Structure 1
Amino acid sequence: MTPEELSAAITACLQDAIDAGEFAVEMPGEVRVERPKNREHGDWATNVAMQLGKKAGLNPRQFAEILSARLVQISGVAKVEIAGPGFLNITVEAGAAGSLARSIVEAGPAYGTNEALAGHVINMEFVSANPTGPLHIGHTRWAALGDAIARVLRASGAEVTAEYYINDAGKQMDKFGESVLAAIHGRPTPEGGYPGAYIADLGREVLAAHPDIRELTDAAALPVVRHAAYEAQMEDIRKTLHEFGVHFDVYFSEQQLHSTGAIQAAVERLRAQGHIFDEDGAVWLRTTDFGDDKDRVLIRANGEPTYFAADAAYYLSKKDRGFEEKIYLLGADHHGYVNRLKAIAACAGDDPEANIQVLIGQLISVNGARLSKRAGNIIELRDLVEWLGKDALRYALARIPADSPMAIDPEVLKKNSNDNPVFYVQYAHARTCAVARNAVAAGVDRSAFDASLLDHATENELLAKLGEYPSVVATAAKFREPHRIARHLEVIAGAYHRWYDVCRVTPMGEEPVADVNRTRLWLNDATTQVLANGLELLGVSAPERM
């Protein structure tokens, strides 16, 4: 019996009691069940009686007594006890507990998915590095976490569009173009320009595509060079992200906001909402009405739009494209953007608490990482992947909360030992696959299943952890915290290794194949499936051999 099945059964009991007039109370949106700290207290526990008792005008224990009388009649429930002020401790029948193994295998990749966020249409923007250089360590964390969050949200029923905002407008693009043009002519990097060997590489690439470019004046050549170098750099960024296993549905160009008149249209829409005022020749948005520390200039006195104007137009673009919820993943130096973006949402007529969420990631460092030979003063994402491996890097980044600073220890990530978390989990998956292969060789198959045979203490523990996986996924989606999945996979791996040490799937020596062997193969394969499902949500592979 899965936690979801038990939760649904308790919900049905509540409704039956209400219909029978035993108490009157508004039905909760969700009935939570969890493992008790002491397994002697049962398989599952719920505090629903404490939540609803007083609302029903009853002592929580009285409420629990009414509910327990119905719960004990549920198929698969062996015993219900009331503890403390009103906790309900539930013990399920051995067969009901063990049946989970078969349910997981039959569900396959769908096990753990849920509909908690069904109907949510979400735009999630992350990475969004300037197209003036290669992706570096500062982008690495959000690339891994952003992609994992998107996967987890989709697993909970949300419709998610992963979006990369290309900052391809403004003076930095001119400096970028000027730097590449200087490299083409063999001149020094212009003041405020971009150094690094990658600029020379881009120069050679542009020159190959436009062999006559050096014959043009700088004024004539600059637009051509800037565009060609930009396209080449964006292709490098896309390729790097692809190699890291990160997918974007949309690459949105800031320049389009300028060229299509979207910024001016956004200003007029916000003016119509009553939040625009004019002062000192500039156009301002009154963001202080919604918690910002000061009002923001949208259009300067010289007529040029600010970055904030582009931010406002971009937000309205997301709104117009049908995204009710917008998630922004920003770096540690962007705390000041939170109130500004929420103020834009409020000015646009949205609820800043419901329609926009800004996640701030803390700094990351990698012990012993070398600066890029191409970029000179940065640590490239590409170099990190080549050095540490995609799986190790993605898993390490996913298992720490985004709001916690982190330092990656390469010596640990390169170890083939239990000290390395990704190895620990992947090895558990590979071990389950080895057990399955050995089972085939020994003539053990899944032709029989007797859930009551899964009665060893280690089997109870493993089943419990596998059963908790769907609620972990749902919670990770709710709080945008994929590290919950990584940590739970480690718990499952530990439970599996302990089970493996004492419970054999294949018979010993000349022992005949029995139903206990066949049933244990179901449990083994259920573990394979859950580990694979969880690693997929983190963007990490599930190897069958190690």
Structure 2
Amino acid sequence: FDSFFSEKLLHDQDRLSAAIRLLEEKGMTAMEVLPPPKGVDIDEEEYVPQPLKVVKTTRFGDDRDRPLLKTNGEPTYFAADVAYHFDKLSRGYRRLIDVWGADHGGYISRMKAVVAAMGGELEVILFQLVNLMKDGQPYRMSKRAANFVTLRELLETAGPDATRVFFLLRRSDMALDFDLGLAQKRDNTNPVFYVQYGHARCAAILRRAREEKGVEPRWDPEAMGALQLPEEIDLIKRILQFPELIAHAAAALEPHKVVFYLQETIAQFHGYYTKYKKTERVISGDERKTAARLYLIWAVKQTLANALAVLGVSAPERMDAPAAEED
């Protein structure tokens, strides 16, 4: 899965030749004379059509067959993409998923066609371009003339946790304003901090129970009946929804659903804890309620950790509370 390589490596290993052999064996190549490329300023009187080796992508819904080699014998840009996807297929994968920028939408049909010709299935997720903001205003991270920011720069400034979550705060087909100022905040307005602090808060409650009372969370069916508050029932329902949520998000290729789930779950937890921390404390003189609530806190903590792990985001055991929040 985590296999990264450059286009140069594909050429060094001659993966294109292997891909062409596979396509030839399947009867999916031909020598054809193609019309001039679309969108290129060519003098039709001077244009000399020549037969080129092509993939018969029209058999799979493309609007024209696509050349693999230029007239001088060099591979086309399309050929490099063919070799890239062939490498995935040759490693035993059949369902391929590409994530592209929205400006590559016109390329989808030809790539789906050639992957189908090689015996695979390609799905493409298009992401809208990202606008970099800081405190609600357009922001440039450097004084260079280029009008783009590399992901490396963003990771170095915002950190990997914030970068991962912020990119999933919207559906892939919705424009995203990445607010660098918000990503760097250490308070509950930062959605990443808000969730991670919830996990750390759960860890602190369990730690306090262990250190002060010598009590560990454990499953006690009889004690669980003590969970009667509406907020406790709602939290139990949300925890039980998690496996189905993960399955649905994976099947639909919609990881943002995990972020939404985290935001909604942690909001419920913070609301529950804040509302009852003076009246219905987790750790109290009632052993039955304490046992039930400690197990509920453990279940919330574990669910948050599992969801964050799916996103590749850390789940800290200790964090400083936001300045505006009392312990």
Q: Secondary structure at the match of 1:418?
A: coil
Unaligned ranges ≥5, structure 2: 34-49, 320-327
Does residue 255 (structure 1) correspond to residue 11 (structure 2)? The answer is yes
Determine helix, strand or coil for the equivalent of 1:322.
Answer: coil
CA distance in structure 1 between the aligned counterparts of 2:219 and 2:247, rounded to whole angstroms: 32
Query: 2:153 is paired with a residue of what secondary structure?
Result: helix
TM-score after normalising by structure 1: 0.50
Residue equivalent to 2:194: 424
Q: Deviations over 1:416-465 (max 9, x none)?
A: 33322112111211111121122224314336721211121111011011
Which of 493, 499, 502 is matched with 2:272 structurally?
Answer: 499
Residues 114-133 of structure 1 aligned to structure 2 (within 5 Å): none
Q: Please list, as runs of the form range in 1=range in 2, the aligned pairs for 1:407-418 lying within 5 A after superposition.
A: 407-418=177-188
Which residue in 2 is equivalent to 1:436? Answer: 206
Other structure's SS at 2:68 match: strand
Of residues 58, 62, 65, the one that matches 1:292 is: 62
Question: Partner residue of 2:45?
Answer: none
> How many Å separate the matches in 2 of 1:380 and 1:312?
26
SS across alignment from 2:242: helix
| Residue 340 (1) aligns with residue 110 (2) | yes
Tell me the equivalent position of 1:113. Answer: none
User: 2:293 is matched with which residue?
Assistant: 520
Matched residue, 1:316: 86
Checking the alignment, whether the CA contact within 8 Å between 1:432 and 1:524 is kept in structure 2 is yes
Separation in 1, partners of 2:145, 2:315: 33
Instruction: Name the structure 2 match of 1:38.
Output: none
Partner of 1:172: none
Counterparts of 1:207-218 in structure 2, within 5 Å, are none
Map 1:130-149 onto structure 2 (within 5 A): none
Secondary structure of 1:357's counterpart equals strand
Please tell me whether the aligned partners of residues 199 and 315 of structure 2 are also in contact (alpha carbons under 8 angstroms).
yes
**CA separation of 1:506/1:268 partners in 2, compared to 1, >3 Å: closer, same or farther?**
closer
State the Cα distance separating 1:519 from its structure 2 match: 1.5
| Equivalent position of 1:275 in the other structure | 28
Q: Structure 1 residue 377: deviation in Å?
A: 5.4
Report the equivalent of 1:360.
126
Q: How far off is 1:273 after superposition?
A: 2.3
TM-score scaled by length of structure 2 = 0.81
- Paired amino acid for 1:544: E
| 8 Å Cα contact 2:131/2:176 also seen in 1 | yes
Match of 2:17 among 264, 268, 271: 264
Which amino acid is 1:427 matched to? Y
**Structure-1 residue corresponding to 2:44:** none
**Residue 301 of structure 1: which of 62, 67, 71 is its match?**
71
Aligned to 2:303: 530
Amino acid at match of 2:163: L
Please list, as runs of the form range in 1=range in 2, the aligned pairs for 1:70-89 lying within 5 A after superposition. none
Assess if the C-alpha contact under 8 Å between 1:442 and 1:506 holds in 2: no
**2 CA distance for matches of 1:317 and 1:380?**
27
Aligned residue among 438, 445, 465 for 2:216: 445
Alignment of 1:22-33 (within 5 A): none
Q: Which residue of 1 aligns with 2:149?
A: 379
Tell whether the 8 Å contact from 2:217 to 2:298 is kept in structure 1 after alignment: no
Percent sequence identity over aligned pairs: 37
Determine the C-alpha separation between the residues in 1 that align with 2:251 and 2:216.
Answer: 38
Q: Which runs of 5+ in 1 are unaligned?
A: 1-160, 169-252
The one-letter code sitting in structure 2 at the alignment partner of 1:264 is: S
Aligned partner of residue 96 in structure 2, secondary structure: strand
Whether contact under 8 Å (1:399, 1:487) holds in the other structure is yes
Distance in 2 of aligned mates of 1:531 and 1:413 = 19
State the shift of 1:515 in Å.
1.6
Secondary structure of 1:284's partner?
strand
- 1:388 maps to which residue? 158
CA positional deviation for 1:541: 1.2
Q: Is the 8 A contact 1:372 1:378 kept in 2?
A: no
Q: Residues 526, 265 of structure 1: CA spacing in aligned structure 2 closer, same or farther, 3 A cutoff?
A: closer
3-state secondary structure, aligned to 1:455 = coil
1:373 deviation in Å? 6.2
What amino acid is aligned across from residue 540 of structure 1 in structure 2?
Answer: V
Q: What is the deviation of 1:400?
A: 1.8
Where in structure 2 are the equivalents of 1:393-412 lying within 5 Å? 393-412=163-182
Counterpart residue number, 2:38: none
Distance 1:332 1:474 in 2: 26
What is the CA deviation profile of residues 334-353 of structure 1, one whole-angstrom value per residue up to 9, with x for unaligned ones? 11221111110232244xxx
Shift in Å at residue 266 of structure 1? 2.7
1:486 to 254, 259, 262: 259
Distance 2:318 2:145 in 1: 37
Q: Aligned letter for 2:217?
A: R
Q: d(CA) in 2 for partners of 1:337 and 1:162?
A: 24
User: For 1:148-168, what per-residue CA distance to the aligned partner results, in whole angstroms no more than 9, with x for missing partners?
Assistant: xxxxxxxxxxxxx13334123
Are 1:162 and 2:6 counterparts? no
Q: Which has the larger radius of gyration?
A: 1
| AA aligned opposite 1:532 | A
User: What is the Cα deviation at residue 372 of structure 1?
Assistant: 4.0
